[in-house]
Amino acid sequence: MKVAVVGGGWAGIAAAIALADAGHDITVFEMAPQPGGRARSIAGQDPARPYDNGQHILIGAYRDSLALMRRLGVDPEQVLKRLPLALPYPGEPGLRLPSGSPLLAFMRGVLAHRGWPLAARLGLLTAAGGWLARGFRCDTHLSVAELCAGLPACVKRDLVEPLCVAALNTPAPQASALVFLRVLKDALFSGAGSADLLLPRRPLSELLAGPAAAWLGERLRLGQRVQRIEPGWQVDGEGFDAVVLACTSVEAARLTAEIAPAWSSKAEILGFEPIVTVYLHSPGSALPAPMLALREGPDAPAQFVFDHGQLGGAPGRFAFVVSGAAPWVARGRCDEAVLSQALRELSWATPPVIDKVLTEKRATFACTPGLARPPAQIAPGLWAAGDYVDGPYPATLEGAVRSGLAAAQGIGTGAGTGAKGAAKGSPTKTP
Ligand SMILES: Cc1cc2nc3c(=O)[nH]c(=O)nc-3n(C[C@H](O)[C@H](O)[C@H](O)COP(=O)(O)OP(=O)(O)OC[C@H]3O[C@@H](n4cnc5c(N)ncnc54)[C@H](O)[C@@H]3O)c2cc1C
């Protein structure tokens, strides 16, 4: 089949490669001058030291993203630094999971956490045992804050809240407990190493988008924003047998407004959460670890800081991450607040200065309880892929890749092509 993939982020790349591997004739339309979407590098003054469009973390459980990298000849062990899950704070060792089976490691790590009173450690293990007994499922309308209401305050502050905002980019009172439990389940139950943190050692574009562009060659059309899709399927007037909409939810809603209005309105109503990344520069400085957790507060926006010098990147470059950043975007001067937080909480060899500030207002969809996400199939022959599409994961690289693979699978198996009864205007075979 001749298949159009609209959007060259991680979801579109995953769909395109799976479809090409299955023998289909693919064309990827990407409106930006480079692929990668939100997970891309941004040029800086020094061409050898680009910035990432926001610090990204992968975990060992990102099975399909890691397999896709390997498919493109990228060795995850080379481009990612693998560390056992640890949440050290400045001056405090924090929670550290030893190696071995993630579930046992979690129990051992919690019991060994000297920063928490014994009752708090036992309280967390009891709650986690309850989640396990219920298969990591809960009422869809429960928030993470409600799920964890009975946990000791120190556990909520040092573990639940930072993990929630890191994984779901949504503050615990507004975040879906069901999705949070699913992330915990995959991290703790996907075998050895699944809870490991995988921190990029190379610019983000080298992880997937660059190799994908080389692999796709002329099948990737850059700088081409798709304006219109018509049943048939016509993509800006060009005929295809099937289409994967792997663009953002906003663009997918626009492109389907006339051909699948019910689906379009589901995509249109999704809310968003921003992420602000503040890069500080401090020559000669180094953190005690490549990644530190920070305690956010009224004057402390960042929840995490990454030392790029320890990650094979630019020495003296530090990425401060402000997730769930809506209040800071509204308030402004987030960068200055981050600089003050950095000066207060960390030691520096030279005074840090603000190097670059990246604000992604629509970094991820707001992962709220009971959220009805749009399904993968829009109409026969028309599929959606993207981190927002209905699935168990929050907006993550792995969620994007899995949705791309699912769309390719749907098209490849003929599950959605040429059948009767499209949402509006059944597609006919293209000329
Ligand atoms: C600052 C930040 C930090 C993040 N941190 C993490 C993290 O630590 N771990 C993690 O797993 N995830 C993280 N994420 C989320 C992750 O980046 C996304 O989940 C993932 O990149 C989404 O991929 P996607 O392909 O679904 O969408 P996108 O990356 O948005 O790709 C969509 C593509 O479609 C293109 N497009 C849109 N409209 C059109 C059109 N009409 N025609 C042609 N092309 C079009 C866009 O240009 C874009 O390239 C972070 C995101 C941000 C912004």
Which residues 6+ apart lie within 8 Å of 161 measured at CB? 171, 172
- Atom number in ligand 1 closest to CA 399: 19
pLDDT-derived band at 345 (thresholds 50, 70, 90) equals: very high
User: What confidence tens digit (pLDDT) does each residue in 294-334 have?
Assistant: 999 999 999 999 999 999 999 999 999 999 999 999 999 99
Q: State whether the beta carbon of 360 lies less than 6 angstroms from ligand 1.
A: yes
Q: Which amino acid residue places its CA nearest to atom 37 of ligand 1? A: 247
With a 6 Å cutoff on the Cβ, whether 29 touches ligand 1 is yes
- State the average pLDDT over residues 237-257: 98
109-135: average pLDDT? 95
Residue 35 CA, closest ligand 1 atom number? 49
Ligand 1 site, residue 363, Cβ cutoff 6 A: yes
How many secondary structure helices (H) and strands (E) does the chain include?
16, 21
At residue 91, the pLDDT reads 93
**Phi, psi dihedral angles at 334 (to 5 degrees):** -60, -40
Note the pLDDT of residue 417.
52
Is the pLDDT at 129 greater than 50, yes or no? yes
CA of 39 to the centre of ligand 1 (A): 6
Residue nearest (by alpha carbon) to ligand 1 atom 32: 247
What average pLDDT score do residues 157-162 get?
A: 94
SS3 content of the chain, % helix, strand, coil (to 5): 35, 20, 40
Q: CA 52, CA 96: separation in Å to the nearest integer? A: 27
Kindly state the helix (H) or strand (E) to which residue 355 belongs, with its residue range.
strand 353-365
Instruction: Report the C-alpha gap between 375 and 363 in whole angstroms.
Output: 20
290, 311 contact by CB (below 8 A): yes
- pLDDT for position 424: 33
* Per-residue pLDDT at 420: 34
Give the position, in ligand 1's atom list, of the atom nearest the Cα of 224: 43
Looking at every residue in the chain, the average pLDDT score rounds to: 93
Q: What is the pLDDT of residue 176?
A: 97
**Does ligand 1 come within 6 angstroms of the Cβ of 9?**
yes
Two tokens at 54?
Answer: 């926001």
User: What is the value of pTM for the model shown?
Assistant: 0.94
Indicate the top mutation candidate among 207, 247, 250, 279 to test ligand 1's pocket, ranked by most ligand atoms within 8 A of CB. Answer: 247
pLDDT at 164: 95
Q: Ligand 1, atom 48: nearest CA belongs to which residue?
A: 37
Count the Cβ atoms, other than its own, within 10 Å of residue 201: 19
Please give the full DSSP string across 292-340, using - where no structure is assigned: EE---BTTB--SEEEEGGGGTS-TTEEEEEE-S-HHHHHH--HHHHHHH
pLDDT given for residue 428 in this prediction: 30
Tokens of 7: 């959007």
For residue 188, the model assigns a pLDDT of: 84
Q: What amino acid is encoded at 54 in this protein?
A: G
Q: What would the mean pLDDT of 151-157 be, rounded to a whole number?
A: 96
Element (H, E) at 239: strand 238-239
Return the closest-CA partner of residue 215 out of 390, 26, 365: 26
The percentage of residues in the chain with a pLDDT greater than 90, rounded to a whole number, is 90
Ligand 1 atom with the shortest distance to the CA of 277: 1
Tens digit of each residue's pLDDT (9 = 90 or more) over 87-98: 999 999 899 999
Relative to beta strand 2-6, strand 25-30 is parallel
Q: What percent of the chain has pLDDT over 70?
A: 96
Q: What's the pLDDT at 101?
A: 85
196 lines ligand 1 (CB under 6 A): no
Question: Each residue of 193-213: pLDDT tens digit?
Answer: 899 999 999 999 999 999 999
Q: ∠ CA 341-346-348 to the nearest 5 degrees?
A: 115
Q: Is the per-residue pLDDT at 114 higher than 60?
A: yes
- The answer, yes or no, to whether any atom of ligand 1 lies below 6 A from the CB of 42, is no
What does the alpha-carbon distance between residue 417 and residue 283 come to, in Å, rounded to a whole number? 56
H or E element in which residue 222 lies: strand 220-222
Look at residue 102 in the predicted model and tell me its pLDDT: 85
Mutate which of 28, 38, 373 for ligand 1? The one with the most ligand atoms within 8 Å of its CB, which is: 38
What 8-state DSSP symbol labels residue 218? G
What's the whole-number mean pLDDT along residues 64-68? 98
> 71 pLDDT exceeds 50?
yes
**Most informative mutation of 13, 52, 56, 207 for ligand 1 (most atoms within 8 A of CB):** 56
The H or E element containing residue 77 is helix 76-79
For residues 386-411, average pLDDT: 96
Distance CA 176, CA 233 (A): 36
Range 279-283 average pLDDT: 98
The amino acid at residue 219 is: R
| pLDDT score of 415 | 55
